Amino acid sequence: MTVFEDLESQVRSYCRNWPVVFDTAKGSRLTDVDGNSYLDFFGGAGALNYGHNPDELKPALIDYLTRDGITHGLDMYTVAKGEFLTAFEDIILRPRNLDYKVQFPGPTGANAVEAALKLARKITGNEAMINFTNAFHGMTLGALSVTGNSMKRGGAGIPLVHSTPMPFDNYFEGKFPDFLWFEKVLDDSGSSLNDPAAVIVETVQGEGGLNPARVEWLQGLRELCTRKGILMIVDDVQMGCGRTGPFFSFEAAGIQPDIVTISKSISGYGLPMALVLIKPELDQWGAGEHNGTFRGNNPAFVTATKTLQTWWTDDAFEKQTIRKGEKIEEAFNAIVSETSPTVECFQKGRGMARGIQFQQDGLAEEVAAKAFEQHRLLLETAGPQDQVLKLLPPLTTSDDELDEGLAIIAESVRTVTGS
Ligand SMILES: *Cc1c(COP(=O)(O)O)cnc(C)c1O
């Protein structure tokens, strides 16, 4: 471990919670240098929806490398890019009656968000953005300016401007009608709100603590944006690619965002890749106006294409995710009813993005630490005070592995809360 402590920056984070050296990984398990096996309910923070090194994708990647397929290609036309675009159109967009142009930004979620914000500003000529309380959109300056977490914002070192926070769904626990404040300040010429270019929203806030927006709330937001001429950006970097069940997390609400950001699990293999989906009439970029050296990660295009062909040609995968999500929900409800007489907590989330929120600070982190130290289960925490125990297992995690991990969580909660 000393090599990391000696040589790597203090900025390192996840490795502090799991201070072992990992070497190999397969499916929902990692193995460390001493041969210990770990169950992975962290799932690369949502980048490993199909598990580690999936057998369904690996041969396509190896074949591509073996035949010297283009690895780096900026935004050159390549066979791998063409095949991805065709598969994305045929398997994802057309069957859902969605019409989007595909932009390849730099291969991270933050870069997709930066591109989306820039484009919305260019189209509308407005600089103001609307974001939501407890949002997370990435660590670069534009993305941070629409992110809630005060510690992360503090890292910017300069004022983060041109964005106005609005209450996310259930921020006031149902005490006020949806969008009461948002609509009031939009309509009031004395409110001091600048005309917004866009709203940027997650359908389920991942880093913010597994907060799901209700379908009616998302529909209300879509309707409000349309009525007021504000663009709607859905940041599906974490909740897209099937995490909540359907390929896009907004499908459940039957809405069509103007711009969508996708990254994390789009390559299927944990390789860096990102997309910005743009309504055709909004594709007003000039050539090269948003550029980047690593926009053409061709091995990622190869595994992404294979991912769509393997899991997304029918609705079986969506259904299994919803079913497994319900299984997690049931197990979490059992934990909550066992625990809440001693310690207040409740379950939240959607699909296979689930959490248990503890009212008392520090408990979720203790449970995650216990699960790792005593049972070799990887779990992270989320929310502004890390008060939510966060479960993001690969969607391909077997029922047996789910049972195993859920039993570990129940045991760890019991140990920590003494219930
Ligand atoms: C992870 C995440 C991002 C940032 O993606 P990076 O690849 O870490 O830059 C943006 N938005 C959401 C919703 C995310 O979960």
Distance from residue 233's CA to the centre of ligand 1 (Å): 14
Check: CB of residue 351 under 8 Å from CB of residue 322: yes
Q: CA-based angle 252:171:386, to the nearest 5?
A: 95
Q: Which ranges of 312-398 does DSSP label H, i.e. alpha helix?
A: 316-339, 363-375
Distance from residue 221's CA to the centre of ligand 1 (Å): 22
Distance from residue 149's CA to the centre of ligand 1 (Å): 13
Do 305 and 333 lie in one domain? The reply is no
Domain count, the chain: 2
| Weakly modelled stretches of the chain, pLDDT under 50 | none
Do 127 and 200 lie in one domain? The reply is yes
Do 244 and 256 lie in one domain? The reply is yes
Give 224's contacts (C-beta < 8 A, 6+ positions apart): 179, 182, 183, 230
Question: What is the span of the domain harbouring residue 335?
Answer: 2-54+315-417
**Which residue in 90, 86, 83 sits closest to 60, CA to CA?**
83
Do 142 and 245 lie in one domain? The reply is yes
Q: pLDDT tens digits for 25-35? A: 999 999 999 99
Which H or E run contains 14?
helix 14-17
Last residue of one domain, picked from the residues 259, 284, 311: 311
Do 276 and 328 lie in one domain? The reply is no
Task: Compute, in degrees rounded to 10, the torsion defined by CA atoms 207, 212, 213, 216.
Answer: 160
Instruction: Report whether residue 110 contacts ligand 1, using a CB cutoff of 6 Å.
Output: yes
15: domain CATH number?
A: 3.90.1150.10
Do 167 and 182 lie in one domain? The reply is yes
Q: pLDDT tens digits for 279-292? A: 999 999 999 999 99
Distance from residue 192's CA to the centre of ligand 1 (Å): 30
Instruction: Report whether residue 138 contacts ligand 1, using a CB cutoff of 6 Å.
Output: yes
Check: CB of residue 339 under 8 Å from CB of residue 331: no
User: What is the C-alpha separation between 234 and 100, in angstroms, rounded?
Assistant: 13
Single-letter amino acid code for the residue at 396: T
pTM above 0.95, yes or no: yes
Do 199 and 337 lie in one domain? The reply is no
Last residue of one domain, picked from the residues 311, 343, 369: 311
Q: What's the DSSP call for residue 343?
A: S
Q: pLDDT tens digits for 350-368? A: 999 999 999 999 999 999 9
Q: Which atom of ligand 1 is nearest to the CA of 207?
A: 15
User: What is the C-alpha separation between 384 and 214, in angstroms, rounded?
Assistant: 21
Instruction: Report whether residue 235 contacts ligand 1, using a CB cutoff of 6 Å.
Output: yes
How far CA 401 is from CA of 38, 190, 397, 398, 415, in Å, comes to 11, 57, 6, 5, 21
Do 43 and 101 lie in one domain? The reply is no
Q: What's the DSSP call for residue 176?
A: S
Strands 231-235 vs 196-201: parallel, antiparallel or unpaired: parallel
135: domain CATH number?
A: 3.40.640.10
Instruction: Report whether residue 208 contacts ligand 1, using a CB cutoff of 6 Å.
Output: no
For residue 401, what pLDDT is reported? 98
Do 42 and 108 lie in one domain? The reply is no
For residue 341, what pLDDT is reported? 87
Do 93 and 219 lie in one domain? The reply is yes
- Measured in whole angstroms, the distance separating CA 417 from the mean position of its chain's CA atoms is 29
Instruction: Report whether residue 28 contacts ligand 1, using a CB cutoff of 6 Å.
Output: no
Do 348 and 275 lie in one domain? The reply is no
Protein residue whose Cα sits closest to atom 11 of ligand 1 = 137
Q: What token pair was written down for 313?
A: 């040609």
Last residue of one domain, picked from the residues 311, 345, 380: 311
Distance from residue 395's CA to the centre of ligand 1 (Å): 18
Check: CB of residue 28 under 8 Å from CB of residue 39: yes
Do 81 and 12 lie in one domain? The reply is no
Separation of first and last alpha carbons in the chain = 35
Q: Which ranges of 99-236 does DSSP label H, i.e. alpha helix?
A: 109-124, 141-145, 150-154, 180-187, 215-228
Instruction: Report whether residue 306 contacts ligand 1, using a CB cutoff of 6 Å.
Output: no
